[in-house]
Amino acid sequence: MHNLKPRMWPRPTLASLSLVWILIAACNVSAQDDSPLSLESIEIPQVQRQPCFGFTDVSDTNALAVCDALNLDLNVKARELSEQWVRQEPNSPGAQFALAEVLLTIEGNMPRALFHLNRAEQLTNYNDVPEALESGNLQWHYLTLSQLSYVHQLMGDQLLSLEYLDKVEEVYGQDMESFRGWPLIKLKQYDAARESANRVLENSDNERERARAWNTICAANLASLQPIESLTACDRAVSEDESFADSVSDYDTVYLSNASEVALSLLRMDEAEEYLNRATRYLNADSVANPWIYKLYLLMNQGRFDESREALDRMLVWREAQEPIVNVMNRAEHFLVTASFFLLAGYSEDAIKLTTTALNQPDRNGSYSADDAQKDSMAALINMMANRLEYQIQLEKIATMDFLDSLSARADALSFQVNAWRSERRAAALFAEFDVLQNRLRPYAPLDVHIPEWIEPEIVGSIGTGVMSNIIEQANSNGAFMLNAGYYHSYKAEVAALDNDRDAVMREGATALSQLPAAEVLLRARLAAQMGKVAWRNNDYAQALTLFENAYLQDPSILRRLAISLPVDITNDGTEFSEQVADYLADSPRFSRDANGMSLEVSTAPDLTICLKTRTDIILSCYTMAAAESESSKWNAQQLTQMFHTQTFGLGFEISQAQRSILMGSSVILSSQNDRSLQRNREAVLDR
């Protein structure tokens, strides 16, 4: 979450100069230049019912044909018509713009769209309205300039984006101030962005422009490490948006998502969720903010796993409905939140694939306050965690194999370990900037890419405890933990755990647990697990088991993610099969035999069963399997042990390969037609 967004530039708003306005502007320019312009000399085309590229007075038949195809959702036809127009008239700025528009909005192909926009600009390049009018290409010139500003913003060249806004204003006299705020935010010129937004609020009565201005102030106010005092600016962005939204399709989720971000930065979790709940009521295909992404993060933080699974499905439905250009912009967000869920659910190989894709495919993040380096840093961090998790899973499998049978698995395990190290080094390099790291430590750091609070402690090990200790103290001095010191003590506990300072782990961990918000379930589980390790080493068995139990109940995956061996007293019913399973469990990296540990029972009647229980006989996890008579006893023992690990140290959700393929970017439409549950989810979203 944590990366604020501007509202998308709707084409009818940015690029909808009517011919009447153009004539007025032209007459004004002519009067200034003492070069009379006769209205009679200008042919006024017949007004079209359907706007074409935002204009109601486009007369070119080729352009109208492309627009008709777009209005009818005949996207392939629109591409063919625009390409044919370019082949027939390569020097037509209209043809170049039309093809660029299809490439941009329908296919999300920004580099190719930019090529044709640059060509359209070369073919126009007018300095004033009379010159543009005389050429007959005024509309295409205006559209080209405005779209060039937008595309450069999306592709990360904010200076060029601002230059094109200046050019639109210089040539056509249109006030573009409300569009300057976001490029300035991306350039980290927060004071200039705030000043620009205030100028809009002083001079404009247009609700859409005022909403953009309040959204800019909302983002600029979050630039400091000091928490902002209120949600006023973000609330005003929402209220201005609501005042001109006269239908569901006009309603935008960006301002509600941003308001949720601000509420989170103030640690108002309930308020943040309410904003997101409001945003999820409207399935908006044009919005860069998919509220289900942010709600999924929030639900995972709070250990609400059943709701998280539902949010994952609903996020997928929303993604299916998004326009291609939006998919290009928030593709990495979908991948990274899904990878985070897969970490918890135990699907580490899929998390590796998703994060690798996020690292290798450039994202167009001009509509987000975070930059590529921040996105890559999170992707590398989760990739490291996923590889480490898969390494642990491979070790669990190896525990059930003979040495010769395990050679291949051992090689795989080694490769995951090496890949984890590589990703850790990459993450460390991306986190190397002091200012980035200092802001990163602030709970729910605004303007940054979202790294969940339960994942952020991994940064300590990647950077090193010495460097991180200094940064933690500096961030604390600058007020990063002003709203809740529990986060500061949780980082201190992580540093102490890596430095093997047992007293500090217990002291800082206890302080953190007493102060952290109750909603930080997964972060609290991590602290409890770290403290449990220390308590066991200190021979405080009762406290250690209580801490391990609390950690496990809050986050079943935490023991595997932290490579913790849970102390257990393994018992069996005396059969050869149960003894074989007990041996496999004893060799597992998840368990260490100790008479003072929890109870791990293996039984064969009536079915093959493994149960993990507390010392007071509270069941933490049980897995039962019917014996496969067609297989050997050894095979059954291996399957029982491996499946017990899968269920015990994951969320217990079975996500089919087909569903995982969808989440990793395969055809959502085709899959949704074949997946009845996904269809039901879509209907539920649309009915809300």
Calpha distance 136→77 (Å, rounded): 26
Using pLDDT thresholds of 50, 70 and 90, give the confidence band for residue 5: low
Higher pLDDT, 589 or 55: 589
Judgement on whether residues 552 and 571 belong to the same structural domain of the protein: no
Higher pLDDT, 668 or 242: 242
The DSSP symbol for 234 reads H
Calpha distance 35→27 (Å, rounded): 9
Using pLDDT thresholds of 50, 70 and 90, give the confidence band for residue 506: very high
Write the CB contacts of 535 (distance below 8 Å, at least 6 apart in sequence).
506, 541, 543, 544, 547
Note whether residue 415 is domain-resident: yes
Note whether residue 124 is domain-resident: no
Write the CB contacts of 399 (distance below 8 Å, at least 6 apart in sequence).
584, 585, 587, 588, 589, 641
Is pLDDT at 239 greater than 70 in this prediction? no
Is pLDDT at 555 greater than 90 in this prediction? yes
Note whether residue 249 is domain-resident: no
pLDDT at 573: 94
Judgement on whether residues 501 and 405 belong to the same structural domain of the protein: yes
Is pLDDT at 304 greater than 50 in this prediction? yes
| Percent over 90 (pLDDT), the chain | 53
Is pLDDT at 223 greater than 70 in this prediction? no
Secondary structure, 3-state, 301-339: HCCCHHHHHHHHHHHHHHHHHCCHHHHHHHHHHHHHHHH
pTM given for the model: 0.80
* Long-range pairs, 81-84, Cβ under 8 A, ≥24: none
Which one, of 351, 342, 227, lies nearest residue 653 by Cα? 342
For residue 63, report the phi and psi dihedrals to the nearest 5 degrees: -65, -40
Is pLDDT at 14 greater than 50 in this prediction? no
Is pLDDT at 597 greater than 80 in this prediction? yes
CATH of the domain at 554: 1.25.40
Structural domain range at position 446: 360-561
Judgement on whether residues 570 and 440 belong to the same structural domain of the protein: no
Note whether residue 501 is domain-resident: yes
Write the CB contacts of 541 (distance below 8 Å, at least 6 apart in sequence).
535, 567, 596, 597
Range of weakest confidence among 95-109, 206-220, 268-282, 410-424: 206-220
Range of weakest confidence among 321-325, 330-334, 477-481: 321-325
User: What digits encode the pLDDT tens for the residues 113-172?
Assistant: 999 999 999 999 898 888 988 888 999 999 999 999 989 988 888 899 999 999 999 999
Strands 598-603 and 591-593: unpaired
Judgement on whether residues 497 and 621 belong to the same structural domain of the protein: no
Using pLDDT thresholds of 50, 70 and 90, give the confidence band for residue 617: very high
Using pLDDT thresholds of 50, 70 and 90, give the confidence band for residue 112: very high
Higher pLDDT, 219 or 674: 219
User: What digits encode the pLDDT tens for the residues 15-72?
Assistant: 444 444 444 444 444 444 444 444 344 454 444 457 898 888 888 999 999 999 998 8
Q: Note whether 146 and 14 are within 8 A (CB).
A: yes
Higher pLDDT, 28 or 567: 567
Judgement on whether residues 611 and 482 belong to the same structural domain of the protein: no
Judgement on whether residues 519 and 455 belong to the same structural domain of the protein: yes
Q: Note whether 439 and 448 are within 8 A (CB).
A: yes
Judgement on whether residues 443 and 531 belong to the same structural domain of the protein: yes
Judgement on whether residues 536 and 624 belong to the same structural domain of the protein: no
Higher pLDDT, 88 or 317: 88
Note whether residue 549 is domain-resident: yes
Average pLDDT estimate for 246-272 = 74
Judgement on whether residues 424 and 546 belong to the same structural domain of the protein: yes
Side-chain-side CA neighbours of residue 405 (13 Å): 10
pLDDT at 328: 72
User: What digits encode the pLDDT tens for the residues 461-504?
Assistant: 999 999 999 999 998 998 889 889 999 999 999 999 999 999 99
pLDDT at 657: 81
Judgement on whether residues 549 and 520 belong to the same structural domain of the protein: yes
Using pLDDT thresholds of 50, 70 and 90, give the confidence band for residue 186: confident
Note whether residue 146 is domain-resident: no
Is pLDDT at 102 greater than 90 in this prediction? yes
Which of 561, 577, 592 is the endpoint of a domain?
561
pLDDT at 252: 65
Using pLDDT thresholds of 50, 70 and 90, give the confidence band for residue 369: low
CATH of the domain at 597: 3.30.160.710
First and final C-alpha spacing in the chain: 23
Calpha distance 556→19 (Å, rounded): 64
Q: Note whether 396 and 453 are within 8 A (CB).
A: no
Higher pLDDT, 99 or 683: 99
pLDDT at 49: 56
Higher pLDDT, 2 or 110: 110
Buried b (16+ CB within 10 A) or exposed e, 577-609: bbebbbbbbebbbbbeeeeebbbbbbbbeeebb
Provide the mean pLDDT of the chain: 84
Domain count of the fold of the chain: 2
pLDDT at 90: 95
Judgement on whether residues 388 and 405 belong to the same structural domain of the protein: yes
Which of 561, 596, 626 is the endpoint of a domain?
561
Note whether residue 599 is domain-resident: yes
User: What digits encode the pLDDT tens for the residues 643-656?
Assistant: 999 999 999 888 88
| Percent over 70 (pLDDT), the chain | 82
Average pLDDT estimate for 341-347 = 95
Judgement on whether residues 380 and 507 belong to the same structural domain of the protein: yes
Note whether residue 52 is domain-resident: no
Which of 539, 561, 583 is the endpoint of a domain?
561
